[in-house]
Each structure stands twice: as structure tokens, then as C-alpha cells.
Chain A
Amino acid sequence: MSLFKLKTVPTLLIEDDCNKNILPIITELIGNTDCILKIFCYEQPVHCWQSIFKEKSIQCFKEFQKEDCTRITDKSKKVICIIDSVNQMALDMSWDECLRNIKNLQNDCSIIKLIIVLHTDCIPNASKLRVNLNHMANGIITYDSKNCYKVSIQIKKNGKFFKSEEMISYDRMASTLKLTPIVKADKKVQEPEKISPGNLTTFKIEMDQTQQLEKHKLKLPYMSKIKEGQGKVYYEPDAVDDWDDEDPDDDLDI
């Protein structure tokens, strides 16, 4: 379920640290599309990526260049972009420039998916980079720093948050990836029963239909005069009247 949701996310941020292998999840997310893959390789050498996506039309760039973005031979084909990793990219250019380029990639309508890899353990520019990227991304996969198989997923869509923690399992033979949500030990917070005021009293406080009708039929003696416009009931508060604003059980001393 969440894997399907992740596939529809336009800008995805993958937060990992060392000792994590994000390749299975990337290959799974890209799937069998006939899109052009554009990979900005700052970390892995180009041939590494080429050997992974053998059958696909793939373009690898050592560094991000503005011209590379616009240089698309076939306009009709959609593009998936991967930045590996944004840490290196931010070091290479300034963070400001890096951000602007990511923004441009986001706004480019030929790019249907943008995958950004961020290593959380070596972020330049303190924490701002991560906060900003989190703000810009529509989906975030964060690897747990202790458990390699555990990820937390956050998807922002239509003004709503979707959050879950999942375990990754990878079947090497079938090369399929599975995400199973971690079901938290159900605390079973028993939904308290809807308490109606009727259940709280020892007498019957609610009226049924016939009683309601009877109530309407009842003619109060003074109402006829009031209706004719001859009389009016004036209420004058008494000196000893209290407005029920204090506790009536005050004097009980319990």
C-alpha cells in the first residue's frame, strides 16, 4: 500500500546513513517504466549505475549542469531524475545554487519523478538543509539508524500527512521488495461509549414522541392572553435569586 503511494510521489527524499543499501528501494520505485533515467552521480561512479539499469535508457552525469537538464533528445519521453547525493551536490556548488537547481527540476514538467538521496550523518550547513529538503519533498523515506530494515515513511498529499513505520524485506530470487507495516502492539484504547445524558440520571430525562406531542398540546393558562397581545409576563430577578454560578453543594462539606 505504502509502496504504491510512494510510486506516485513526484518528489521523493531518501534519508539514509552509512551501511544502508538504498538500491533495492530505488529499483523498485522506478519499476518497469520506459522513462529516461537521468542520474547525477556524485558518489558512485557512472558505470556503477549503468550496470544496475542495463535495459533502460539511462543518462549519467558526473556533475549537475544546467545544460544537462534541458538536453533531452526525445521530448515525448518522460524523465526520472536521481540525485546521488545532495550532500555532495551542496558541497560542490553552494547550497543556494543547489536548491535553485532542485527547484528547477521540480518545476520541469517533463520530469515526472525526482529522487533525492540525503545522508543524514554528514549534512553540511547544519540542519537547515534537511529542514528545507523536508519542506520541499512530497514523500520522505527515512532509514532507522540502528535497524537497517526499518524505515519510516512520510507522505504529504492534499494537505494531509500519511505516516508509517515499515520493515523492508527483499526477495533476491524474485528481486521484489516488500514493505510490511509495523503494527504497534495494540493498546486497544477502548473507545468510551457515547454517554447520553439519559444514562446518567436515575429518572427518565428524555421524552419520546407521544410525550413530546402531549407537551405541545398542553395549554398553559397565561399563553392565550400573551398570544392575544393583552398580556406579557415580566420577570424580575429577586434579591435572593442566584444565577447558579456557584456550586450548590458548597455547604455540604464533603
Chain B
Amino acid sequence: MTSFHKKSLSLSSINGTKLKNNLPYISSGIPSLDFIIGGGLPVGGIFLVEEDVLGSYSRVLTKYFLAEGVVCKHDLFIASADENTEEIVKELPQVCTVPSDEKVNELSSSEMKIAWRYEGLGQVESSFGSNANFGHNFDLSRHIGIDTINNCNITHCRLEQNENNLNSFKNDLYYTLLIKIKEGLIKEEYNINSKNKNILRVCIQSLGSPVWMAMDCDHDTNITYGQDLLKFVYCLRVLLRSTNAVGFITVPSHLFDDDRIMKRLLYSVDNAVRIESFAGSSKETNPVYNEYHGLFHITKLSAVHSLVPFIPPSLDLAFKLRRKKFVIEKLHLPPELQESSEREQDDITAIPKTCGGFKKKDIDF
């Protein structure tokens, strides 16, 4: 008798990962972000964040990603051409002590005395992933101690321009970074078939910032603009694909004057999101958004080991940053309590001009 057996690769579980479709996933450090992109970041893939204009929220995302790695004892690889990566590591947030779920109990304990029909409806949940036990919440006001950081395996990559340019990239920075990442990946732990596995979190901060792109700007023609960047991300994807590494890239896409670059970049990454902060925009004072700090757009979700990508519960997402939590929520409009004159049914009574129509006020009861 034959029977069908699922071919399992005998994946020994790695700390801080979970399996989905037989593929390990790691947490981004934000439970609600993990939820909306389908359970986390697939190992061997690239996650791209389009930065907000001031870059402050994307920085927070980067810190969460790295801090989660420290908590799960993953190895880190941090690269930046703009700032000192050691400064970023110094400011990593400490993990929150798990808040007791008293609040949840409190809500469910108040049973209904009348109107039972609504009892089974359940609470409206606008924030996601609050009950998942994957990933951690972090306290931004407290930093991870220097001893813990020193115990971690962190590779810093401070990119400086040097002149010898003997590769296919115009800007030498890209080549240097690729080589550095390749060297980092040689370790046996990152091989998917090895026994003693660990995850490498590769974080590239502000890829495509002026420092990266300036060389493309010297020509008036736009043909070469962004070519290096596209090539780099493509190469990076190939490098990471069959390893236990995850790429986390932030890109200041608002600086690109050709939005096709961003669209082409999306083809070379697995998941991508865009942060739109309200700081400095007209939306800052809009009462509709006053509960949130910005909008959260999902720009790409790929179908890894499946036919269709994960479908998030909503695409109208907004985020707010709390001291102990970065929450992504379904964007709710505030309740309409006002009796405004612009309601639809009022309009109908106001303009029955044709066919001898009369206005409501013409009739006197």
C-alpha cells in the first residue's frame, strides 16, 4: 500500500522562527506588522520599507527589527552609508515585560443581561496581531544594555567611498556592500542544510539616499539613473535566497524623481511597505486622522511557497507610535455625530426642480 507523505526537509526549528508553508518566518519586531504581511518575514527574502519624509518612523522600524534579532539571539549585519551604525545599535529598545491580559478579561467578563443577540458578535478589533504570541513589543524609552549588545554577533558595515573601481557597478559602494554581505553569509550557520542553524538579519539603512544616487545625477540623461540600485537589490536577492538570512532595507523613495525606479525595485523584493507620516503634511491637522501618526501602505506581498499571496484584512491602514508599542490599525473614521447639512437625503429634498417639483417647505401641514 502506498501512502502520500509530505516531503519534509526535517527543518530543525531555529530560535525566534515559526514555520508556515514549510518555510521559516521571523518576526519584524512589531506583532501587528507581522500580522498584516502574513505572519512575518520569510527567511531568504527581502523586506523593503519606503521611508517617511523625515525618516523618523522608518528608523523606529529598523530598531525594532534589530532589537527582535537581539532578543532571539540572531546574528545582525548592519550597513549604512549615511550614519554610524554603532549609534543605531546603542539605541535599540528593550523588550517590554508582557502586559497582563487583564484588560481583555475585563471586557469579556461583563456579560449581557439583555440584548443577547449581540453577545456572540465579539469585540471589534481594529489593531492586528495583539493576541499572537510571536514577536515582542519593545519599550522605546529604555535601551538594551551594552553588555547584551556585546554578546551579540553584530557585523557593522560603514560604507566609505574609495576610488578603485573595477567592477560592473558605477558606484563602488554597492559592490563593497555586496562583497561584505557575501563574506558574512559564508558561515556554516546560515546554510539551510546545516544542522546548527541561525538567522542572519541583514539591515541596510537608507539605501538609495543621496550618497548612493549622486553618481547617477551627474549626467543629464536619465538612462543610468537608479540602474546601480536596481542591480544591487537584484544581486542581493540572489545572494540571500538560499540562505538563512533576511534582508531589511529602508529606501527614501520620496527622493527619487523617477517613480518607475521604485516600481522596478518592487519586483526584486518579497514584501514591501510604505510609511506616510503626517508630520509636515496637511493631514496633520485633519480631524479624521488625529488619532494616528501616519498612514501605512502595503505595496507588495509575494506568494512564497503558495499560489496566492496573503490577503490582509484591510488595506486602509494607519499607524500610531506609543512608547511601548508600534500599532498598525485599520483606519476608522471618527463617528459622525454632527447634523450636517450635506447629507444625501437632504439634497434630494432640496433640488426637485424639474417636472413641476416642489420643495418640502412649500407644503404647510
Which residues on the B side are within 8 Å of A99 (C-beta)?
Answer: 210-211, 214
Q: Which residues, 74 to 93 on A, are CB-close (under 8 Å) to B?
A: none
- Let me know if A200 and B255 touch, CB within 8 A: no
Stretch of B193-201, B231-239, B303-311, B337-345 that contacts chain A: B337-345
Say yes or no for A52: interface residue by CB 8 A criterion. Answer: no
Number of interface residues, chain B, beta carbon within 8 A: 33
Say yes or no for B161: interface residue by CB 8 A criterion. Answer: yes
Chain B nearest Cβ from A219, distance in angstroms: 10
Report Cα–Cα, A135/B53, bound state, in Å: 8
Which residues on the A side are within 8 Å of B339 (C-beta)?
Answer: 200
**Given known contacts A135-B255, A159-B54, A160-B279, is B214 in contact with A96 (CB within 8 Å)?**
yes
Say yes or no for B4: interface residue by CB 8 A criterion. Answer: no
- Let me know if A95 and B214 touch, CB within 8 A: yes
Chain B residue, CB-CB nearest to A159: B56
**Residue among B113, B213, B214, B345 with the highest chain A CB neighbour number at 10 A:** B214
Chain A nearest Cβ from B215, distance in angstroms: 5
Report Cα–Cα, A127/B222, bound state, in Å: 12
Chain A nearest Cβ from B174, distance in angstroms: 13
Say yes or no for A161: interface residue by CB 8 A criterion. Answer: yes
Say yes or no for B365: interface residue by CB 8 A criterion. Answer: no
CB < 8 Å neighbour of B117 from A128, A163, A237: A237
Chain B nearest Cβ from A237, distance in angstroms: 7
**Given known contacts A100-B161, A132-B255, A161-B54, is B217 in contact with A195 (CB within 8 Å)?**
no
Q: Which residues, 199 to 214 on B, are CB-close (under 8 Å) to A?
A: 209-211, 213-214
Which residues on the A side are within 8 Å of B57 (C-beta)?
Answer: 159
- Let me know if A156 and B54 touch, CB within 8 A: yes
Say yes or no for A29: interface residue by CB 8 A criterion. Answer: no
Say yes or no for A203: interface residue by CB 8 A criterion. Answer: no
**Given known contacts A135-B210, A161-B280, is B218 in contact with A233 (CB within 8 Å)?**
no
Which residues on the B side are within 8 Å of A136 (C-beta)?
Answer: 210
Report Cα–Cα, A136/B82, bound state, in Å: 10
Q: A95-B217, A126-B257 are in contact. List 13 more A-B contacts (CB 8 A).
A: A99-B210, A103-B211, A125-B218, A128-B257, A135-B210, A156-B280, A158-B56, A159-B57, A160-B54, A160-B280, A161-B280, A200-B339, A220-B113
By a beta-carbon cutoff of 8 Å, the part of chain B in contact with chain A is 54, 56-57, 82, 113-114, 116-117, 119, 161, 171, 209-211, 213-215, 217-218, 220, 252, 255, 257, 277, 279-280, 337-339, 345, 348-349, 360
By a beta-carbon cutoff of 8 Å, the part of chain A in contact with chain B is 94-96, 99-100, 103, 125-129, 131-132, 135-136, 156, 158-161, 163, 192, 195-197, 200, 220, 223, 233, 235, 237, 254
27 contacts between A and B (CB under 8 A): A95-B214, A96-B214, A96-B217, A96-B218, A99-B211, A100-B211, A100-B214, A125-B218, A126-B257, A128-B213, A131-B255, A132-B214, A132-B255, A135-B210, A156-B280, A159-B56, A159-B57, A159-B277, A159-B279, A160-B279, A161-B280, A163-B280, A195-B337, A220-B114, A235-B117, A235-B119, A254-B360
